[in-house]
A = this chain, B = another copy of it.
Amino acid sequence: MAASESELIERYFRPLSAARADVALGIGDDAALLTVPSGAELVLTTDALVEGVHFLPGAAARGLGHRALAVNLSDIAAMGAVPAWMLLSLILPAADEGWLGEFVAGLAPLARGYDVALVGGNLSRGPLSITITLAGHVPPGAALRRDGARAGDALYVSGTIGDAAAGRELVQGLQPAHGQPPQGQPSQGQPSQGQAVRALDAQLRERFERPQPRVALGQALRGLASACIDLSDGLYADAARLLHSSGCRGQIDAAQLPLSDALRAYGGARAVDLALGGGEDYELLFSAAPAHRAAVEEAAARVGERISCVGTVSEGAGLFVNWSNGTAMTASAPAGFDHFGR
């Protein structure tokens, strides 16, 4: 016997309504009532995961619960803001309580970890999609926008990039895993290295399936970064967006890209391509004036995040990639994943 919408909400989502003193009214009325800190600006973002577009049919519900919130947290991180309240709009083919339990098991730890309260939403029957709206706040004028990069600034990225794109290939079976070659074909790795390779591949899968938003880093960069964006569509595409918004030209040095050992082992000659073109890393790309260099490095160290200087901002337009052999790849328009692209 299927449970009703309100029973499902009570059972699975009410427990996500974390106790926050600033929630005057949460789930269960026509709308939520919330108190934004005095003087702060409200930050609002929404992102959707659609079956067949953002994930394959049959994708694990636990991973989707994590990703659905993580991608929104990443947008809040890129603004240097503090996440606080979310709304969940869930369209499900059936009232599958096993699926819901797993979904919440993926969502809840991230929500608790960032002190995000679920304050509303809805549950409808239909083709699977998950839309989360996340609200937060930031001191007035302190938000990290895309349009503040200036000539002379350095370009930084957090963490390592390209891992999620490799992980996606592994998860979706687009490329054979190192440790699990297709039957009848020789393994690319030495037998004695099999276990180590499998561990590296697991790291890449983890980066794709459980992206970690850089919320603390975004906040630490307030007053230091001149512009910031999160890497959802790939370094090249997202850097082009930041530079276009800022009215500047940028240069990325391929040799400076922070590539994990796992990506190098998996991608070989493709590693740099995966780092530049692959999306879903949810690292931060930001610009900062040279005068802030030491402060930026201290801020990142304080929150335990690795950052790497990968290029520079100059006057003009476009985004140029310097390869280690001295040639340059150029393009002038943003590229990247586009749901309705040609």
Q: Which A residues contact B (CB, under 8 angstroms)?
A: 1-6, 8, 24-25, 28-36, 38-39, 41-48, 50-54, 74-76, 78-79, 81, 85, 87, 89, 91, 95, 119-127, 129, 131, 133, 135-136, 138, 140, 143, 145-147, 228-230, 245, 334, 338-342
| Chain B min CB distance to A339 (Å) | 5
A33 contacts across to B, CB distance below 8 A: 41-43, 79, 138, 143
The 8 sampled A-B contact pairs (Cβ below 8 Å) are A29-B79, A30-B45, A31-B75, A33-B79, A45-B87, A48-B89, A50-B91, A131-B131
- A45 to B33 Cα, complex, angstroms: 9
**Contact: A131 with B48, CB < 8 Å?**
yes
Q: Is there an interface contact between A46 and B124, defined as CB atoms closer than 8 Å?
A: no
Q: Which residue of B lies closest to A25 (CB)?
A: B145
| A91 to B138 CA separation, bound complex (whole angstroms) | 30
Residues of B within 8 A of A50 (CB): 91, 124-126
Q: How far is the CA of A95 from the CA of B341 in the complex (A)?
A: 9
A54 contacts B124, C-beta separation under 8 Å: yes
Q: How far is the CA of A34 from the CA of B137 in the complex (A)?
A: 9
**Cβ contact within 8 Å between B143 and A46:** no
B4 A124 Cβ-Cβ under 8 A: no
Q: 6 nearest interchain CB pairs?
A: A31-B45, A127-B127, A30-B78, A95-B340, A50-B126, A133-B133
